[in-house]
Structure 1
Amino acid sequence: MSTAFRSTRILAMQPTRSLLMRRTPMMRGPVPKEDQSAHTISQRLRQLKKIPAELIPLGVVIAVAVGAAVFSITRKLYVDKTLRLKRTGKE
């Protein structure tokens, strides 16, 4: 039993390998241009087809939430008469 304990202690105490840290090599070639650098509206609409179908319901829910938040704050600012929009006191 004591030999098994000693062998695990020896394994646990081995030094770790040093990490080889190197700089990343500099890119020597020019930056590649986009497929379509001058986007028109129709080209941008065609890119919407690349959006995965699973993200469309998420976008709709976020759009509804943002719309409801804008509606709510706008209504609060116009309807609430007790809301102080200006300083009160000495003028």
Structure 2
Amino acid sequence: MFKPTALRAMQPTRMMFMRQSAPMYMRQTARMMKPVPKEEQSAHGVSQRLRQLKKIPAELIPLGTFPPLVAVFAAVFSLGRKLVVDKTLRLKRQSGN
């Protein structure tokens, strides 16, 4: 009679069914045919940057202007309110010191 362990030793292992991967070769990258383009923002003057604003769609301009204006108004309002309402705030030097 055969032992089950002896039969198992005769079966091919999983390692035998695995195929080898292709060898990896080290090679240089292909040479670039044209020079690397310059960045759009490099060495631009103020007038050139203002011309870039024409590319912004008109619908987006209120989104870029309204929130900062609201933030500036809120800051000025809260500062003005603090100066008027807060009685413990010293606005002048104390005399006699």
Task: Report the TM-score, using the length of structure 1 for normalisation.
Answer: 0.48
**Bigger Cα Rg:** 2
Task: Report the TM-score, using the length of structure 2 for normalisation.
Answer: 0.45
